[in-house]
Amino acid sequence: MPVHEIKYRAVEGELSPGPFRILSVTKFTLLAVMNKWVATTLMAGSGQLLVYGTIFLIMGNPLVRQALQVTQVIDLPIPVILRNFILIQLFICIIMANIAGPRMISPELAHRALPVIYSRPIGRLGYVAGKFLALQVLVGAVSWVQVFLLFLVMWSVLPPEHLFHTTLWTQSIPLMARAMLIAVLASLVVSLFGLACSAATKNFRYAVVIFIAVMFGASFVSRVAQEVISSNMPDIGLFQVFMTLTDQLVHRVRGVVDRPVTGALLSLGVWCAASLGYLLWRLRPVDVYGE
């Protein structure tokens, strides 16, 4: 029936279950976030995989090296490659979260769309889960997904006699698992923190500033506390925490455990709990009216 002939009709048929509604939040959040320059920046960030792939092909495959007449290649140990890779990815991950995260909730707070969203059969947790998934699509793509792809690239490109293949089950896979875990933690913390900053203010520009200020502020406070009070003070800055964790990738292989990772993991737990707690508190249904 043409639309102009329909006055009003009731909805018939089955309604979709809860998880699909959460995915709707994810889908429409990504559509809303993706304005021109944000999309371009994010695409550029994700395009790095192509660059890494090319470098690996050149450095890892002797035939390619021979063809390109590359004679001097520093053969870095795999843990060092992973460590450097994760640290670079962490920066990209933070930039991604800082570009996309603040745009996820702030605009909905600004024009008070949350009361009508909450009037749908989706709870606060469902809404937050949908937003988290949306940010994970972007942040996860440059963190744990990249580490996994790196593993696949190494597995397919490195020659069979390489240490990677000869110690695949004893060293390479456990190492990769640890690296994946660090990358997953990084994307988790950064996503939750990005969303918490977005929920803190109605203006996404302020959210960007809050994100940078808190992240650098925590690192600064952590450094000062370690220098002024005691060097045994736990790291609370995300950069230091991830430095500690990624260092372990190298040190564990060498049998050296210079700093326990318990403090670093605890700090990450605090970041996650504080971000999630603030997010859920800030988005209480009765508070989203902005009265």
Partner 1 sequence: MFIELDNLTVKYGKRLVLDKMTAQLDGRSIGLLGPNGAGKSTLIKTLLGYLTPVSGTARVMGFDVVKDRMKIRQVIGYMPEHESYIKGLSAVRFLRYMGELSGLSPRAAMERAHEVLYFVGIHELRYRPVETYSLGNQQRVKLAQALVHGPKVLILDEPTNSLDPEGRDEMLHLVRDIGQISGSHVVMCSHILNDVEFCCDAVTVINRGRVVLTGIIKELKKEDLRTYDVRIEGDRERFLGAVASLGWECSQDERGGIRVKLPEGQETSSIFRIAAEIGVQLRHFHFKKDSLEDIFVSVLRESEGKIADARS
4 touches partner 1 (CB under 8 A): yes
31 touches partner 1 (CB under 8 A): yes
Residues 71-110 touching partner 1, rule: CB under 8 A, are 107-108, 110
Stretch in the footprint of partner 1 (CB under 8 A) among 24-32, 156-164, 170-178, 226-234: 24-32
Rounded to a whole number of angstroms, the minimum distance from the CB of residue 291 to partner 1 is 8
Nearer to partner 1 among residue 143 and residue 198 (C-beta)? 198
Residues 142-171 touching partner 1, rule: CB under 8 A, are none
Q: How is residue 234 annotated by DSSP?
A: P
Nearer to partner 1 among residue 130 and residue 194 (C-beta)? 130
Rounded to a whole number of angstroms, the minimum distance from the CB of residue 73 to partner 1 is 48
Chain position carrying tokens 């890494």? 52
Rounded to a whole number of angstroms, the minimum distance from the CB of residue 19 to partner 1 is 11
- How many positions of this chain bind partner 1 (CB under 8 A)? 41
Residues 111-130 touching partner 1, rule: CB under 8 A, are 111-113, 115-123
Rounded to a whole number of angstroms, the minimum distance from the CB of residue 162 to partner 1 is 48
Nearer to partner 1 among residue 8 and residue 169 (C-beta)? 8
Rounded to a whole number of angstroms, the minimum distance from the CB of residue 289 to partner 1 is 7
CA 236/CA 225 separation, integer angstroms:
10
Contact 124, 118 (CB under 8 A): yes
Q: Which of 120, 147, 151 is nearest to 24 (CA)?
A: 120
Residues 232-261 touching partner 1, rule: CB under 8 A, are none
CB atoms under 10 Å from CB of 221, counted, come to 13
What the block records as the tokens of 194 is: 């990005």
CA 215/CA 193 separation, integer angstroms:
9
Contact 196, 279 (CB under 8 A): yes
Contact 279, 252 (CB under 8 A): no
* DSSP structure string for 22-47: HHHHHHHHHHHH--HHHHHHHHHHHT
6 touches partner 1 (CB under 8 A): yes
N residues, the chain: 291
What the block records as the tokens of 191 is: 């996503």
Residues 270-289 touching partner 1, rule: CB under 8 A, are 285-286, 289
Angle made by CA atoms 115, 118, 119, in degrees to the nearest 5: 85
Residues 32-61 touching partner 1, rule: CB under 8 A, are 32, 35
CA 254/CA 246 separation, integer angstroms:
13
Q: For binding to partner 1 (CB under 8 A), which residues are involved? A: 3-4, 6-11, 13, 15-18, 20-21, 24-25, 27-28, 31-32, 35, 107-108, 110-113, 115-123, 285-286, 289-290
